[in-house]
Structure 1
Amino acid sequence: MSGNGIKDGMAEGQESETFFSAIVVTLSLATVIGLLMLVCGFGTSGSSQGNAESEDISNEKTNNKSKKAKGNQPGKRQQKQQVKRGGQSTFSHPLLASTLKEHSSNVLDLDFSMNGKYLASCAEDRTVRVWSVKEFKDKVHKCLRGNVEYDHVTKIKFSPDCKAFITSLSIGNCIRVFKMAKKEDGSSSTISASLDFPKILSTDIINIGLGSHAHGSFVMMAYKDTTIQICDVKGEILQSIDTHHMNNNYAAVSPCGRFVASCGFTPDVKVWEVLFNKEGDFNEVKRVMDLKGHRASVYYLSFNTDSTRMATVSKDTTWKLWDTNVEYNKNQDPYLLYTGTYNHTGPSLLALSPDAHTVAIASGVRIMVYNATTGEEEESFEDVHTQPITKIGFDPSNRFLVSCGDRHIRVFHNVVGYRSNIASMEKKIKMSTTTKTQKERMQSQIRLMSECLAEILGESPKV
């Protein structure tokens, strides 16, 4: 090879080396720049996330402080409702006598026995339970349990002899009878199913009742449409009633065992008498009374013990107290004694105390208690249950008001009833027609009720 060829080869090699060096430098710079951008990007993201977390923590602290501040604000009444894990709650109120807690699902209905010794309840947990009223103030509440196979009970009613109760089944949509009996060794009582009535209609049963008096006994089934079935105690249909309410909201048998009353979409309440002959054979169901005065759908109705008073509650935001001790056979209409108003927030339940001195109305999770004489709201219980209230009722002695809605049963002292009875007796004592013996008896009763009321409220009894 000549000298010029060698020089040319060397020149080409130098140019190629320079070209590859430039490529390497360029790639190195691109890599460094990419890494810098990536690092800067992660730094920004991490900073943003850190700021967001800091902001969340700050907001959470602020919210907690706000909740604590709200919780420390004095309420109208000293009652508390705190939610625990699993959606359950604790509720407290100065007038809360006890809480019955054995059910594991929502309690749907309850009923007191006529002798005042027992409270029966049913729930979605496929059980029925019977509680002792005398143990209401105890810390531990024992109960009898009966199981409902492959179904659950929606309504429950004690028999007049307090030895059995009837129920309505959810799936079966019929009546099932349960009996209470002592074990052979006499150690305890048991609850067992004894009879199922045949299914009559496919429409849902909204309430049931038992009627019994000197001449005969019957079972009532009220349906969601406009039907009420009157059956004998074995399930045979005696008569079917069409209420013409467009739809039934509620129906009940009177405590005296003679009447059936219904209410619904129409603004009137209708009352029938179930008649038997002297031999105990069924005669007829006869329409005897109408309660007219509401301007909208009537949600609920309730009798006092001897059926001389009735209370009704309506969508028109009023409740009414009626004197039903009338000569209906001579077409005498019930007398309207009082019309009160209430805070209407939707469909409502109502209970009239056995002595007709107290009216309780439940709407949603709230209970309002009224003096039936003055119409004044004297007590209010807020957020009693975590679910809408399904039933309220007074015990036969007028001492307690009970409610159910979630899996618990609340038992309240009926202080409105105590006060109303005391005021009523004091008024009667001043009447000139009251005899000396009557005055002494009422004064003794006033002292006893005053002592009970003072004990409930933690006060010294008035002398």
Structure 2
Amino acid sequence: MASNIAQNSAKDVLDAGEGNDQFFSAVVVTLALGAVIGLLMLVCGFGTSGRATGSAEQDENAQKTENKSKKSKSNQQGKRQQKQPGKRANQTTFSHAYLASTLKEHSSNVLDIDFSINGKYLASCAEDRTVRVWSVKEFREREHKCLRGNVEYDHATKIKFSPDCKAFITSLCTGNNIRVFKLAKKEDGTSSTITASLDFPKKHTSDIINIGLGSHAHGSFVMTAYKDTTIHIWDVKGDILQTIDTHHMSNNYAAVSPCGRFVASCGFTPDVKVWEVVFDKEGNFSDVKRVMDLKGHRASVYYFSFNVDSTRMATVSKDTTWKLWDTNVEYNKNQDPYLLLTGNYDHTGPSMLALSPDAHSLAIAAGSKIWVFDSATGEEKETFEDVHTQPITKIGFDSSNKFLVSCGDRHIRVFHNVVGYRSNIASMEKKIKSSTTNKSQKERLESQIAQMRDCLAEVLGEKPEGSKA
């Protein structure tokens, strides 16, 4: 009995132990499952948070991208709006009572123009890598044909006709050297062509500011003027004959005189220096001699211009004055040029100037504005405002004194030289009243005055004097 009780007690104890073990095992399993579930929840929670954060960042980035896109579009629209007025301004038709015509074939800014000495042609060069030759007799026509030549791998910045009008030289922007072009008839004789024939070597690092061709009875030469104080005198084959140091501190402008004998320069100093290029009787280069100085300005001289026979020069300065000089002097006897007249103009910045071939009228250009003066009285007679949408790059008179031409944007403006007509008439009327004028001279002058009045009336759209209403 006792034995059975003991066995039952032991069995209960064992059963109780097994129950406890099962209980503990269940607790452990439960805890383990809880831990696993908790970890899964944490992992899921962190994943969701990460996805939420990533989504927020993506949304933020998307918003930023959208904002940038909107801003970019807005800027582009703004730029288009800013460009459109300029484009419209470039397309705006300039008009003036004295405007004879506008030459429009260039597709980029025209940088330089030059009239042939025979008065038949105008040459132009532009950033569109072309050079063009225009007929002066067609200036008043509605259509303007031109001869086109291409500037390979570069564009021309300056252009100058040869004295025989069968060629011209250009300065190249990138090459910073001279390129010669020839004008020739096609074999069938139907039209002319422009062909590049020679490149001068590059001999200087400073930029070319102007070029010129000189030719007279004893010899011919080419001039290149640079931005520093250097001027090169070349032979027509591209060899340097002599180098000039202008001592201006820096050059503003330099040119060869129309008579082909002189080279002049101006710069930071308040004077203009003139040299003569000398050849012997056999045509061999001899020397470059300093022959005269034009002194009288109080500040830097920006520009100068000769009349057709180099007996007159005009200068324009930072001191806001222009001056007309008599250069028909005996410079071999150290005679200095005579100052004939000083005029004023309303501008303080860089300017350029053109003296008409007969020296009766003078034009100054600055920015997009042109002033025209009577060079006999110094009076400002005409002003042209907003002639171009870009700063004017060149002005000049044709050899007949009938036209004043300017360039700046892709157009070339041709004006009637009304001031020149009137100044000429006044000059001839003054000569008629002179006691030294004989009868035959007076009759000739009266005839010339009548012809000039008729031309002026035609230009202004008026009826000539003496005509019936």
Report the TM-score range of the alignment, normalised by the length of the smaller protein: 0.7 to 0.9
* 1:393 partnered with 2:396: yes
Matched to 2:156, the amino acid is V
Separation in 2, partners of 1:131, 1:431: 41
* Partner residue, 2:378: 375
1:86, distance to aligned residue in structure 2 (A): 7.9
How many Å apart are 1:431 and its aligned residue? 1.0
1:345 and 1:363 in contact (8 A); partners too? no
**Does 2:233 correspond to 1:230?**
yes
1:109 Cα shift?
0.2
- Whole-Å Cα distance in 1 between the matches of residues 126 and 192 of structure 2? 20
Give the distance between the partners of 2:419 and 2:160, measured in 1 at CA: 26
2:165 maps to which of 135, 139, 162: 162
Residue 357 (structure 1) aligned with residue 360 (structure 2) = yes
Question: C-alpha displacement at 1:435, in angstroms?
Answer: 2.0
The structure 1 residue matched to 2:290, chosen from 284, 287, 299, is: 287
Q: Whose Rg is larger?
A: 2
Given the alignment of the two structures, is residue 151 of structure 1 paired with residue 148 of structure 2, yes or no?
A: no
Report what 1:89 is aligned to: 92
* Matches of 2:290 and 2:325, distance apart in 1: 17
**Contiguous gaps of at least 5 residues in structure 1:** 1-81
SS in 1 for 2:93: strand
* Counterpart position of 2:268: 265
Identity value in percent: 82
Alignment partner, residue 315 of structure 1: 318
- 3-state SS in 1 of match to 2:450: helix
| 2:427 counterpart of 1:424 | yes
SS of 1:161's partner is coil
Q: What is the CA distance between 1:345 and its match in structure 2?
A: 4.0
RMSD: 1.0
Partner of 2:452: 449
CA distance in 1: counterparts of 2:193 and 2:173, whole angstroms: 23
What code does the residue aligned with 2:340 have?
L
From 376, 384, 389, the counterpart of 2:387: 384
Render the CA deviation track for 1:285-326: whole Å, top value 9, x for unaligned.
000000000000000000000000000000000000000000
Per-residue CA deviation, residues 129-174 of structure 1 (Å, 9 max, x unaligned), is 0000000000100000000011000000000000100000000000
* Partners of 2:96 and 2:127 in 1: CA distance: 27
1:405 aligns with 2:411: no
Counterparts of 1:140 and 1:192 in 2: how far apart (Å)?
Answer: 25
- Does residue 343 (structure 1) correspond to residue 346 (structure 2)? The answer is yes
For these two proteins, the number of residue pairs brought into alignment is: 382
Provide the rounded CA distance (Å) in 2 between the counterparts of 1:266 and 1:280.
34
Deviation, structure 1 residue 372: 0.1
- 1-structure distance, mates of 2:365, 2:464: 31
For 2:176 and 2:279, the matched residues in 1 are separated by: 27
SS, match of residue 296 in structure 2: coil
- For 2:447 and 2:181, the matched residues in 1 are separated by 41
- Alpha-carbon distance in structure 1 between the residues aligned to 2:235 and 2:446: 46
Shift of 1:84: 5.2
Counterparts of 1:188-267 in structure 2, within 5 Å, are 188-267=191-270
* Consecutive unaligned residues in structure 2, runs of 5 or more: 1-84
Quick one: distance in 2 between partners of 1:325 and 1:457? 35
Three-state SS of the structure 2 residue aligned to 1:91 is: coil
- What letter is aligned with 1:118? Y
Q: Cα offset for 1:87?
A: 3.8
Separation in structure 2 between the aligned mates of residue 87 and residue 349 of structure 1, nearest angstrom = 23
Per-residue displacement from partner, 1:349-397 (whole Å, max 9, x unpaired)?
A: 1000000000100010000000000000101000000000000000000
> Amino acid of the residue matched to residue 284 of structure 1?
D
CA distance in structure 2 between the partners assigned to 1:370 and 1:139 by the alignment? 29
TM-score if structure 1 supplies the norm length? Answer: 0.82
- Matched position secondary structure for 2:179: strand
| In 2, Cα distance between equivalents of 1:378 and 1:457 | 15
Distance in 2 separating the partners of 1:342 and 1:224 = 26
1:433 shift after superposition: 1.2
Partner residue, 1:301: 304
Q: Partners of 1:282 and 1:107 in 2: how far apart?
A: 35
